[in-house]
Amino acid sequence: MLRTAVWNVAESVGLPFGAYVVITDLVSPDAGLLAGTAVVWLLIAIRKIASGSVSSLLMISALVLTIQTAVAISTGYMWMFQLQFPIANLAMCVVFARTAPTRRPLVAQLAADVVELRQPETHHPGLHRFFQGATWFWPGCSPC
């Protein structure tokens, strides 16, 4: 379980950040942002081709990093990269709220992806209610 969690975090945060640091040092901050974003989308493509599925954590990272990069590069101000976290947070609130009433709430997907906590094959209403409640909790308590 720990190995899976470490790999998922490294894949969704470590590799893009490493690309950002290296390319920023070699080229420019804008190129570093584009490289970090490209790494996330490349990892998504590789995972989709290799396994047919993409982890929710990786998709969340791609969404947030794409928004951050677009805002920072389009405004021309690198400090916008840090200031627009509320925009990314709002996007995450929408994603969580959108998946909460479905059969696959995002918290259940993250539990399966990050710590390999799989739901039973047969529908378990109590577990499903828990994941729905936890998914509703995030946008409800987050400062969107």
Q: What pLDDT score does 16 carry?
A: 83
Sorted by sequence, the CB contacts under 8 Å of residue 34 that are 6+ apart come out as: 23, 69, 73
- The answer, yes or no, to whether residue 81 has pLDDT greater than 70, is no
Mean pLDDT (the chain, rounded): 77
Structure confidence by residue, pLDDT tens digits, 84-95: 556 666 777 777
- The answer, yes or no, to whether residue 19 has pLDDT greater than 80, is yes
- The answer, yes or no, to whether residue 79 has pLDDT greater than 70, is no
How many angstroms separate the CA atoms of 82 and 121, rounded? 42
Q: What pLDDT score does 27 carry?
A: 94
Q: Give the pLDDT band (50/70/90) at residue 80.
A: low
- The answer, yes or no, to whether residue 67 has pLDDT greater than 90, is no
Average pLDDT for residues 99-110, to the nearest whole number?
77
Top-confidence residue, 32 or 128? 32
How many angstroms separate the CA atoms of 144 and 63, rounded? 16
How many angstroms separate the CA atoms of 107 and 91, rounded? 16
How many angstroms separate the CA atoms of 72 and 139, rounded? 25
CA max distance for the chain: 53
Q: What pLDDT score does 2 carry?
A: 63
Domain residue spans of the chain? 1-79, 84-144
Q: Which amino acid is at 26?
A: L
Q: What pLDDT score does 26 carry?
A: 95
Token pair, residue 133, equals: 């409640």
Average pLDDT for residues 68-91, to the nearest whole number?
72
Structure confidence by residue, pLDDT tens digits, 21-45: 899 899 998 899 899 999 989 988 9
Q: Give the pLDDT band (50/70/90) at residue 106.
A: confident
